[in-house]
Structure 1
Amino acid sequence: MTDTPPIAVPNLAATVLLLRQSDSGPEVFMVVRHGDIAFAGGALVFPGGRLDAGDRDLAASLGLAGDAGALRICALRETFEEAAILLARGPVPRTAASWQSKLCADEISFAALLEGLGVEPAPDALVHFAHWITPPNRPKRFDTHFFLAVAPEDQEAAHDGGEAVDSVWISPRLALSEADAGKRKLVVATRLNLMRLARFDSVDAILAHAEDTPVVTIEPRSKQVPEGRLMTLPLAAGYGVTSFLSTDPASI
């Protein structure tokens, strides 16, 4: 008899869809993951990462309760680590971006960084957008909450040069078009969230949609069909579809 491997416990994580309005419509900041990274190596993704103990400690010190509060701090930290954007109350010093490498190298904590810059984090700058949990048949799983945030006009986004080797401000429609043409690699959750953004012609419309749409947990189920793998998701989640065909097994 073959023992059934235990189901991996998903790691709590936060991802941020950093938005700005351009003359041609909304754009989102995305980074290209290093090709040697095991999960989604080489893919175009939104900044984000797993929750750590420091996020919980900082959230508790600010009176942000439970996982929900800690995930918002995680989202703010990851936005700075992977995009050099600090979502904070009040003016952010121009020197803030120079601290990005120190945070990425664990030379300083996010709490110490904020104290050193003399700013307070702005968890209210985040709008809860989506919640995805990796299916239980995967050896590495994430319980990921996606947030929207508008990029401050006085800060310049930049990737970290470590986990991310490139970055781009791109319209959701163009990102999808380039992926369809084979120029970009997208994992399923990224593709679906880009499709959701692409339905709107302005950042304001995206934010209004998010405010009016309850966040529904998505743990995709899939089955093999001749064309690929057919994934199902709840209509109430706001994606406008209940099924999605993926032809890339590695991205499911």
Structure 2
Amino acid sequence: MRPDVAEPVTPKDAATVVLLRDTDRGVEVFLQRRVAAMAFAAGMTVFPGGGVDPRDADASISWAGPPAAKWAVWFDCSESLARALVCAAVREMFEESGVLLASAGDAVVEDTSVYAGARAALESRELSLAGFLAAEGLTLRADLLRPWSNWVTPAQEPRRYDTRFFAAVLPDGQRADGATTEAESSGWQRPEETIADATAGRQNLMPPTWITLTEIGDYENTSEVLAAGREIRKISPALVREGDQIRIVLEEQ
């Protein structure tokens, strides 16, 4: 953390997906522990996600579900950015977890292993999401996503992101594998278990992750999560120095 930085860095747009599944023990969330070499959030336990690629705004993408104009209202942004955010959410989740929110015809994809080569090319930026979907005859399924929240990195940080959080349920037949170079470990866990681990010092959580897990933990099943009415407000944690300690204060913009 850098509470001494004078001029705030302009945050980059990013998308994060809270991937969920139902189990006999309740709702579980897919989480990844970022490798220590990462420039941002190194060693932190996070949801799949990442920065927007300019190519994510490609309007040629075959799309099913709420149009970009609707997402623009939910996230209070331009239609072009809204389209890019939804596409970035789908792309980043596929890159980092192997879960793909897309359909061939009317059927949601079940076996994503056949797209392993494209997944690697997406991660290396050799291939765009639009190019991948078009080549495979796939349609992006925006209806499988829900807007959840909007967090902005504290102004004092040298790397900042304006991140829109989405919620989604693991499609039938698919599995989240976490085969990405950005994570040292991945897996499913109940929200309350992750928070308990963080409280005990076994995992490190940033405020958006901690609060999102707390929110998800209030629901009995994924259907309730998807049906939740969410009013999206931009939240930016502020770092306040108190002696040798730094306190985090949540501020709505």
Q: TM-score range by the shorter chain?
A: 0.7 to 0.9
1:72 is paired with a residue whose SS is helix
- In structure 2, what is the equivalent of residue 110 of structure 1? 129
Return the letter of the residue paired with 1:77: R
In structure 2, which of residues 207, 211, 221 is the aligned counterpart of residue 188 of structure 1? 207
1:144 shift after superposition = 0.4
In 2, the alpha carbon distance for the partners of 1:224 and 1:199 equals: 32
Return the offset for 1:177.
0.8
Shift of 1:45: 0.5
Question: Cα offset for 1:154?
Answer: 0.7
Please tell me whether the aligned partners of residues 30 and 44 of structure 1 are also in contact (alpha carbons under 8 angstroms): yes
Moved more, 149-158 or 4-13: 4-13
Cα distance, 1:6 vs structure 2:
3.1
Structure 1: 5+ residue runs without aligned partners?
Answer: 238-252
State the distance in 1 between where 2:8 and 2:157 align: 8
SS at match of 2:58: helix
Distance 1:208 1:40 in 2: 30
Shift of 1:201: 2.1
- What's 1:220 paired with? 237
2:156 is matched with which residue: 130, 134, 137?
Answer: 137
Instruction: Tell me which residue corresponds to 2:75.
Output: none
Tell me, in whole angstroms, the C-alpha distance in 2 between the residues paired with 1:78 and 1:223: 32
Equivalent residue number for residue 109 of structure 2 = 92
Partner of 1:43: 44
Of all paired residues, the percent bearing the same amino acid is 34
Q: TM-score, normalised by structure 1?
A: 0.83
Write the deviation string for residues 210-246 of structure 1: whole angstroms up to 9, x where unpaired: xx22111101234345775141345xx9xxxxxxxxx
Moved more, 47-56 or 183-192: 183-192
Q: Which residue of 1 aligns with 2:74?
A: none
Answer yes or no: is the 8 Å Cα contact 2:87–2:129 preserved in 1: no
If the length of structure 2 is used for normalisation, what is the TM-score?
Answer: 0.83
**Contact 2:14-2:162 at 8 Å conserved across structures:** yes
Q: Which has the higher contact order (CA 8 A, sep 6+)?
A: 2
Quote the RMSD (CA, aligned, Å): 2.3
Q: Are 1:207 and 2:226 an aligned pair?
A: yes
Contact kept? 1:18, 1:150, Cα under 8 Å: yes
Within 1, Cα distance between the matches of 2:56 and 2:248?
Answer: 36
Letter in 2 for 1:13: A
Deviations 1:64-117 (A, max 9, x none): 332112100110111101111110132426313453222212232222221232
In the alignment, what sits opposite 1:250?
none
How many residue pairs end up in the alignment?
A: 230
Match of 2:249 in 1: 231
Residue equivalent to 1:73: 87
Q: Which runs of 4+ in 1 moved over 4 A?
A: 58-63, 225-228
2 CA distance for matches of 1:173 and 1:59? Answer: 41
Name stretches of at least 5 consecutive residues in structure 2 with no aligned partner: 69-78
C-alpha contact (below 8 Å) 1:59/1:70 kept by paired residues: no
1:171-202 residue CA offsets vs partner (Å, 9 max, x unmatched): 11111111111111111211111111112222
- Give the CA deviation at 1:27: 0.7
**In the alignment, what sits opposite 1:23?**
24
Aligned partner of 1:83 in structure 2 is: 97
Distance (Å, rounded) in 2 between the aligned partners of 1:12 and 1:230: 22
CA deviation after TM superposition for structure 1 residue 59, in Å: 6.5
Q: Distance in 2 between matches of 1:93 and 1:177?
A: 33
